Structure formats: C-alpha cells, structure tokens
Amino acid sequence: MIRLKDLSLPLGYDETTLRKAAARQLNIRQTDIRTISLYKRSVDARKKDRIHFLATADIVLHTGETAAVKGCRSAEIIKEYRYSLPVCKKLPQRPVIIGSGSCGLFAALILAQAGQEPVIIERGRDVDRRTADVDAFRRTGLLDTASNIQFGEGGAGTFSDGKLNTGTKDSRIRKVLSEFAAHGAPQEILYLAKPHIGTDRLRTTVRNIRRTIESLGGTYYFETKLVGLKTADGRVTGVILEHNGTQTAIDTGHVVLAIGHSARDTFEMLHRKGIMMEQKPFAMGVRIEHLQENINRSQYGTFCHHPQLGAADYKLAVHLSSGRGVYTFCMCPGGTVVAAASEENRLVTNGMSEFARDGRNANAALLVGVNTADFGSEDIFAGIALQRRLEEQAFKTGGGRYRAPVQRVGDFLNRQPSAALGEVLPSYTAGYTLTALDKCLPSWITDSLREGIQRMDQRLHGFAHPDAVLTAVESRSSSPVRIVRDETMQSVSLKGFYPAGEGAGYAGGITSAAVDGIKTAEMILS
Ligand SMILES: Cc1cc2nc3c(=O)[nH]c(=O)nc-3n(C[C@H](O)[C@H](O)[C@H](O)COP(=O)(O)OP(=O)(O)OC[C@H]3O[C@@H](n4cnc5c(N)ncnc54)[C@H](O)[C@@H]3O)c2cc1C
C-alpha cells in the first residue's frame, strides 16, 4: 500500500477530486488506483483567502506501486497497521481494574481480548443511570457524589467534547481510534487530524465497549469503590471493595489503578497504605466563552459558513513576563460549560459538546500554570488543598447550589464587577451569578489571565471581546499528584499494582489515558 502525504484538497472536494489529486501527485492515471482512503486530514487556514485541506491518503494500485513511489518524494510503501496482542498464558487470578474511564476501559479491553477475563470496579453508575444523575444535577443543583461528571462509567471523558487528539505519539493511538470507531464512534475519527466523538456518541461507544468486554468474559461491578488493598511481601494480593456500605475482597495478583484525578479519598487511602506519591505541577483558571460565529469568522474569514469546515477551534498559549504560562485547553466548539463538581459545596467547571458541535457558544479552559512552589506546603496533597480552596471560594461567590461566578471579559479587564451581560450568554446550565472573579481567585491567577487574554487577542482576533464571558473555576485539568511507578509501570512501593492514566499523573486526555491503559495491560501480559 502507498501512503501519500501533502495532498492539497479544495473545500468541497469529493472522491473524484481526491483520486485526481493523488494521481497527479503520483504521476499515474486515475484508473491505476484500485482503492484510496484518507489516513489524515487537517484544515490549512494559514492563508484566509486560500483555506483548503491538507491530507495523507492510503492508496492501493492495481499494479506498479514500487515504480509509482520512486518518482514521488511525498509517497512511501507502507504495511497496514495491525495491533498485535501480546500472547500470554492465563493468569492464575483474574486481573482487577479500578476505574472505567478511558484508561481502565482500554486496559480491560486488551486484557479481555487476551483471554484474561478482567474484573472492572467502578465507584459510579453505569452510563445510562449516570446520564440521568448528571441531568438531575444540572436541573436541581443537588450533587450525587458517587455519580457525576467525574465518576461513573466511561470516566471523566464521557461528558466531554470527546476530543481524541493528543500531543503524544504512539502507534497504539490507532488501536484506540479503531476500537472507538468499531464501537459506535463516527468513522471520520480514523482520519481527521483533530478527531472528536461528542458526548452524545461517546455514551453509546462506552456502553458498546463494555458489552464487548463482558462478551469476552469480563465482569463489571458498578457503585463499588476500592477502599483498601491486601498485600504480602511487597506484592498486592487483593483489593477491598465497598458496595452499599458492605465490604468484600477479591484476591488478585494484578491491579490496574485507573482512578482519574478526582478520586481524592482514594489517593488519601493509598497514601495511608504507603503507596509512594509526589506533588505534581498542574494548571487552574476559568472557562472562557465566545460566540462560535465570531471564532469561525476569525479562523476561517469569508469561508466561515463552509459546511465542510464545521465549527472552528483554537489553541493558544503565551509565556508571561512573570515566567508563568497561560494557555487554552480542551476547547469545545459549539459546546457548553458544564458543572463538573464531585464534592459537596465545591464548584468545578469544564466543557463538553455534542458530535454536531452546533451550540451558539465556543468555550475553552483558560489556564494558568501552577507550580509546586505555589502549593505553599511540602505536603503531598497540598495541590489538592489548593484546588479545594478555590472550588469552595467559587461555590460561595456563585451564591451556592453550584451557581457559577461569571464575569464579562470587558469588566474583568477593567477590574469592575459585571452587572449585565452582552451578546454572549453563559451556557453553564446550573445557573450563574454575575460578579468579579477576583473575589474567588488569587491575584496571581487573575493577573496572569488578564495579561494572557490581551496577548491571546493578538493571535486570535476577538479573543478579548468585552462581551466574552468567564466562568470560574477550572480546577481539574490534570492531577496535582503523581503515583510513582517504575519502568515496568508498577508502583515503586507495591509489585503487581499498576497506577495508570490521568490520576496516576502519567497521561492527560482521553486518548493518552487509553494508550497508558493499553501499555499497562501489555505489561501485565508480558
Ligand atoms: C467535562 C470534561 C470534558 C473533557 N473533555 C475532554 C476531551 O474532549 N478530550 C480529552 O482528551 N480529554 C477530555 N477530558 C479529560 C479526560 O476525560 C481525562 O483525561 C480522561 O478521562 C482520563 O482518563 P482516566 O481513565 O485516566 O480517568 P477517568 O476518566 O477520570 O476515570 C477514572 C474512573 O475511576 C473511577 N474511580 C475513581 N476512584 C475509584 C475507586 N476508589 N473505586 C472505583 N472506581 C473509582 C471514577 O469513577 C472514574 O470513572 C475531559 C474531562 C472532563 C471532566
């Protein structure tokens, strides 16, 4: 098969245009092409008057592939990627996976595909009941601490934009995308440079992967929490679980700990058990919302209504004179700001979108880098304490019942409280209070955000639009602790115990957590 890079495709291209462009670049006839499919496609919007797609295509010719590649520097012969499952004898006891987020899900899938019949323990509810709980929270402001945006089947990514792009490079990413696509995600994720599933499609996908795992002998226990470990001679020998107030144990020699970054009680329990952890830098800030129409215009100019382009995204980062970094993260085109709390009286925001990304607003996290020196203490959990402080202040400033503090960007930059909104209405569905964000965020965050917003406006016209709105607080973008593991991915304190994914501090985002889950499963199988 030939992989052909740097194909330039016009907006509105179709299969014929694609074949024509490939044939021209390879210097062959269109009829020489047996099959052609996109491997990657991105939007090139650097020149606003010539927006087009840049693509890589996989091509099978009737004959003469070697000759065709010889004369073309952007083409190479490749072997189609196939994930190969490590071969391993049946383990003496079933491996146990704690957490069904993307890390746990993919660790479980690989172990199930390898015939190991994993047991999956999830403190939250299955995706259908969880969806009802999340909806109820939005409507009533009554939080279920066991089933919410952070906890439950599919983990933190279930109610998200389902962005699958990652800064990491690993051939297993293809395995992740293929499994998502085979289980109900849109097929375009296989070739888009910035693939996304959308929360509506993700829920089905997560449920379908669970069914595959169960069909291969895996077992799920929902509303069941890891509360303790059984150990002997420096090895894990079992897990202690709690369901409906009753404790039980499962004996096992292999535990994948994929608990995400919000399981603060579990971090504390593990620390008490002597599992080595360390402080980790992270980031905090707010969500920023603009009209999606304005983002589209800034990014795509006169092409902003082209149906093949969809809702535009952005990614911005600036380095301030203070030495701090300010950056946008987890941008959700056409999405909403969601109430993402998991603890009583502590407010957390995040963002999500449906696959169609057709909401009125665009939102993104606008974050300030937090160093361990900002924690103000050497305590392992000082980062969590800082998160909790800001989440409590945001809750109070919002006026309770998870109403979020909101401020117009114009007022924020002028250091005056907001009394009215302009053209951008906050999408945060649990209600909001117009205020001054300086009331709930420390000055090293607000001052950095002020400078950051103005600097970012020079890169993305309209970013500092006075009517854009800020919603506080975005405190859970990544884990403030790391559970230290060795080169075999096991905890340095306990053999057979594999801290993985976002919560362990070794991955960030749906795809990279999934890849970490796959690697962990491979390590167990090896
Ligand atoms: C609203 C929102 C939107 C996001 N959008 C995106 C996005 O578009 N793209 C992207 O790449 N990333 C996104 N993220 C981040 C992404 O969801 C995480 O990086 C990813 O889910 C991490 O996967 P994980 O499996 O390591 O942890 P998680 O997904 O957090 O899963 C951990 C699971 O463990 C369970 N658990 C915790 N403690 C215990 C215990 N003691 N016993 C049993 N179970 C336990 C939890 O209930 C949870 O289900 C978003 C996050 C949120 C909250």
Nearest CA residue ID for atom 33, ligand 1: 99
Pairing of strands 469-474, 349-352: unpaired
440/31 Cα distance (integer angstroms):
65
For residue 63, the tally of other CB atoms under 10 A from its CB is 9
Quote the pLDDT of residue 490.
Answer: 98
Kindly write down the DSSP assignment for every residue of 95-138, as one continuous string. -EEE--SHHHHHHHHHHHHTT---EEE-SS--HHHHHHHHHHHH
Report d(CA 449, CA 442) in Å as an integer.
Answer: 11
Nearest CA to ligand 1 atom 46: 151
CA of 150 to the centre of ligand 1 (A): 6
Query: Which residue type sits at 84?
Result: S
Spatial distance between the Cα atoms of 105 and 213, rounded to a whole number of angstroms = 9
Whether the Cβ atoms of residue 290 and residue 178 lie closer than 8 Å to each other = no
Residue 387 makes CB contacts below 8 A (sequence gap 6+) with: 284, 475, 476, 480
| 185 phi and psi angles, rounded to 5 deg | -75, 155
* d(CA 349, ligand 1 centre) in Å: 14
**What mean pLDDT value characterizes the chain?**
96
Q: Which domains does the chain have, with CATH numbers?
A: 2-77 (3.30.70.2700), 96-278+482-525 (3.50.50.60), 281-474 (no CATH)
Site to probe by mutation for ligand 1, drawn from 96, 151, 353, 481 as the one with most ligand atoms within 8 Å of Cβ, is: 151
C-alpha–C-alpha distance, residues 371 and 369, integer Å: 6
Structure tokens at 415: 């250091």
Q: Please, are residues 433 and 421 in contact by the beta-carbon 8 Å criterion?
A: no
Using DSSP bridges, classify how beta strands 469-474 and 282-291 pair: parallel, antiparallel or unpaired.
antiparallel
Average pLDDT over residues 464-489: 97
- The 10s digit of each residue's pLDDT in 431-474 is 999 999 999 999 999 999 999 999 999 999 999 999 999 999 99
pLDDT classification of 87: cutoffs 50, 70, 90:
confident
Taking CA atoms only, the protein residue closest to ligand 1 atom 41 is 226
Residue 331: φ, ψ to 5°? -70, 135
Ligand 1 atom 27: residue of nearest CA: 260
Quote the ligand 1 centre to 218 CA distance (angstroms): 20
By percentage, how much of the chain surpasses pLDDT 90?
A: 95
Of 285, 290, 317, 314, nearest in space to 405 by CA: 285
Residue 382: phi and psi, rounded to 5, are -65, -30
CB 407 within 8 A of CB 417: yes
Ligand 1 pocket mutation pick from 97, 102, 165, 239 by most atoms within 8 angstroms of CB: 102
Torsion of CA 366, 157, 108, 492, to 10 degrees: 30
Q: What three-state secondary structure class fits 141?
A: coil
- Note the pLDDT tens digit of each residue in 223-258: 999 999 999 999 999 999 999 999 999 999 999 999
CA of 99 to the centre of ligand 1 (A): 9
462-469-399 Cα angle (round to 5)? 170
pLDDT of residue 81: 87
Residue 413, Cα to own-chain centre: how many angstroms? 30
Helices (H) and strands (E) in the chain, counts: 13, 23
Output the pLDDT for position 429: 83
Q: Is the dihedral of CA 338, 300, 165, 463 positive or negative?
A: negative
Q: Report the separation in Å between the CA atom of 436 and the middle of ligand 1, taken as the mean of its atom positions.
A: 30
- Asked if residue 388 lies in contact with residue 434, where contact means CB atoms within 8 angstroms, the answer is no
Angle at 206 between CA 201 and CA 207, to 5 degrees: 100
Q: How far is CA 276 from CA 273, 308, 312, 486, 504, in A?
A: 9, 49, 43, 11, 11
Q: Which atom of ligand 1 is nearest to the CA of 265?
A: 41
pLDDT at position 402 is 96
Question: CA nearest 497: which of 510, 486, 505?
Answer: 486
Task: Kindly give the distance from the C-alpha atom of residue 340 to the centroid of ligand 1, in angstroms, as a whole number.
Answer: 11
Q: Cβ atoms within 10 A of the Cβ of 341, count?
A: 26
CA of 515 to the centre of ligand 1 (A): 14
Distance 347 CA to ligand 1 centre (A): 17
pLDDT of residue 124: 97
Q: Cα separation of 409 and 413, whole Å? A: 6
Residue 517 alpha carbon, nearest atom of ligand 1: 25
* CA nearest to 417, candidates 431, 397, 403, 443: 397
Q: What is the pLDDT of residues 264-299, one digit of tens each?
A: 999 999 999 999 999 999 999 999 999 999 999 999
- pLDDT for 167: 86
Q: Which of 122, 126, 266 should be mutated for ligand 1, with most atoms under 8 A from CB?
A: 122
Residues contacting 228, CB < 8 A, separation 6+ = 239, 240, 247, 269, 273
The answer to whether residues 449 and 443 touch, using CB atoms and an 8 Å cutoff, is no
Rounded to the nearest angstrom, the distance between the alpha carbon of 448 and the centre of ligand 1 is 27
Q: pLDDT digit string (tens) for 517-526?
A: 999 999 999 9
CA distance 224 to 240: 10
Provide the pLDDT confidence category of residue 369 given band limits of 50, 70 and 90. very high
Strand partners, 75: 4
pLDDT for residue 71 is more than 90: no
Least trusted range by pLDDT, from 75-89, 173-187, 353-367, 445-459: 75-89
Residue nearest to atom 37 of ligand 1 (CA): 259
Distance from the Cα of residue 484 to its chain's centroid? 22
Question: 504 falls in which pLDDT band (50, 70, 90)?
Answer: very high
Q: Which residues line ligand 1 (CB under 6 A)?
A: 98-104, 121-124, 149, 151-152, 155-157, 159-163, 225-226, 258-260, 263, 266, 330, 338, 340, 350-352, 501-503, 508-511, 513
489 Cα to the center of ligand 1, angstroms: 19
Tell me the average pLDDT across 481-497: 97
d(CA 150, CA 346): 13
> What is the CA(67)–ligand 1 centre distance, in A?
48
Identify the residue whose C-alpha is closest to ligand 1 atom 52: 156
User: Which of 432, 428, 399 shows the shortest CA–CA distance to 418?
Assistant: 432
Closest C-alpha residue for ligand 1 atom 9: 163
Q: Could you tell me the distance, in angstroms and rounded to a whole number, from the CA of residue 52 to the centre of ligand 1?
A: 35
